[in-house]
Every structure is written in structure tokens, then in C-alpha cells.
Amino acid sequence: MAEPRVIITIDGPAGAGKSTVARLLAAALGYLYVDSGALYRLVGWQAAENNLSLDDAQALSAFLERLQPEVAADTQGFHLFLNGREISQVLREPRVSREASRVAVLPPVREWVTSRLRHLAANGGVVAEGRDLGTVVFPRAKAKFYLDASLEARAVRRRQDWQNEDASTEKVARELAERDRRDSSRAAAPMRVPADALVIDTTNLNPQEVARQCLARIREVFPEIAGLEMKTG
Ligand code: DC
């Protein structure tokens, strides 16, 4: 009998370890890794490149009708291409984080991203990470996780990701706190813990340990999924 290919959601703030854990799970399950933040980053970056106001829902809505990125997802990467050019690298820049968080408050932007995510997951078999995956995008998913960590631990990790020795941990922490505030206080699909999610504090855990806890939960919820003797290191 064919194994079911389900949807796994991972939500939480920046620096909680979502991407690393999502990739470990995707590799273990042979699923696609889906990074919803990259789509918000794409919209924020493109809005700024085209000199659109980041708060103008109407102008952005018209712009999004013409924005057609190509997506290449596998177990380890979520690559976006625009006009044939890979743009994943530029999307990771710190200024794009701010632009993404600003446009992410706008309902038309959220609808545009949500419809793409649902299309990508139409046949199941995805591990999708973001802020509203378990609450709004895939509310019926049965295996949901919410990762969190102390602000300081998250800032240390983010600074390492950027390999940015110029920014102090304190400065990175201030920027993360500002983004958390905007992401959780917006009216449209704010960052929330899904009611049925397993919450994991990753402050003192390495990604392999977190992934093991997630897999234990996935095994409980879906005993029929075999092959979970994963390589989490
Ligand atoms: O996960 P990330 O740092 O790449 O996300 C960038 C921004 O995009 C984040 O600050 C808020 C927004 N975002 C969102 O609103 N909903 C999601 N599901 C994912 C990201």
C-alpha cells in the first residue's frame, strides 16, 4: 500500500530553527521543503525594486497580477526564479527581511502567497514553514509544530547565518523583536501558535534533537508512514 503523503507545518519566529528542522524532516520523509517566507521576501524585494510603496495594498495587488516567479523545490532547497534568474540569494539580505515583514501585513499579498503555497502542496508531501501555515494556510494539517527560542539565542543564530560581524547581537535582537511585533500584531493572519501544534523551545536544543521530537510526533499521528528511521545525524 502506498504511504500517505501528508502536509507538515512548522511555524514560529525568525531564528527559532524552522528552516534547518524543516529540511531535516523533508529529507527524512522524502518530502518537498517549502519556505513561505521566501515568497513574502520576493514580494517585498520586488515592490522596493519597482519603487512601489510597501504599504499600498492596491498598487501591490495590481503588481502581483503580473508577478510570476518559478519555484523549484526539493527536500533541501526552495529556489525562486524571476525571468530565468535565480534570486534566492538576494532574498536573504537583511533589508529584504524588513520589506517582507511590511508587505506581509497586506491581505492581497497574503492571498497571493497562500494560493501559491496551496498549489505547491496540492498533492501533499510537503514540509512547509512560516508564520501562519498551521493556522491559516493548512489549518487541516494533522502534524503541526511551533518552534520558539529566547530572543538572544535567535539573534546569535541569525547573526551567524548572515556571517555579519558588523551587526552586534544586540542590534540583531532589536531588529528581530521589531519584526516579531509586526508579524504577531497584524490583523491579517498574525503569527500565532496553532491550537493543535506541538510547541518546542529550541533554545538549548540542536536541530537534530528538535527533528527527532518532531518525527516522534509524526509517527504518533501517522503510524502508517514508514521509513522514519531518519538520518538526523
Ligand atoms: O521566515 P522569514 O524570515 O523568511 O520571513 C520573512 C517575513 O515574511 C516575516 O518577517 C513575516 C513574513 N512571513 C509571514 O508573514 N508569513 C509567513 N508564513 C512567512 C513569512
Kindly state whether residue 228 falls inside one of the protein's structural domains: no
Number of folded domains that form the chain: 1
Nearest C-alpha neighbor of 213 from the set 225, 227, 228: 228
pLDDT tens by residue, the chain, 233 residues: 567 899 999 999 999 999 999 999 999 999 999 999 999 999 999 999 999 999 999 999 999 999 999 999 999 999 999 999 999 999 999 899 999 999 999 999 999 999 999 999 999 999 999 999 999 999 999 999 999 999 999 999 998 877 666 788 999 999 999 999 999 999 999 999 999 999 999 999 999 999 999 999 999 999 888 655 555 44
- How many Å lie between the centroid of ligand 1 and the Cα of residue 10? 12
pTM of structure: 0.95
Q: What is the DSSP string of 210-233?
A: HHHHHHHHHHHH-TT---------
- How many Å lie between the centroid of ligand 1 and the Cα of residue 223? 31
**Cell numbers at residue 183, please?**
508579524
Alpha helices, DSSP H, located in 73-195 = 88-91, 94-103, 107-120, 151-162, 169-185
Give nearest CA residue, ligand 1 atom 20. 37
- How many Å lie between the centroid of ligand 1 and the Cα of residue 211? 21
The rounded Cα 204 to chain-centroid distance in angstroms is: 21
| pLDDT score for 160 | 84
Sign for the pseudo-dihedral over CA of 88, 189, 210, 202? positive
| pLDDT score for 166 | 72
Atom from ligand 1 closest to the CA of residue 91? 4
Kindly state whether residue 106 falls inside one of the protein's structural domains: yes
CA dist., res. 200 & res. 21, Å (int): 11
Kindly state whether residue 227 falls inside one of the protein's structural domains: no
Kindly state whether residue 101 falls inside one of the protein's structural domains: yes
Residue 63: CATH number of its domain: 3.40.50.300
Contacts (Cβ under 8 Å, ≥6 apart) of 7 = 121, 124, 126, 128, 138, 141, 143
Kindly state whether residue 60 falls inside one of the protein's structural domains: yes
- How many Å lie between the centroid of ligand 1 and the Cα of residue 40? 6
Number of separate helices (H) and strands (E) present in the chain: 9, 8
Residue 141: give the domain boundaries. Answer: 7-221
Kindly state whether residue 233 falls inside one of the protein's structural domains: no
| pLDDT score for 66 | 95
CB-ligand 1 contact for 15 (6 Å cutoff): no
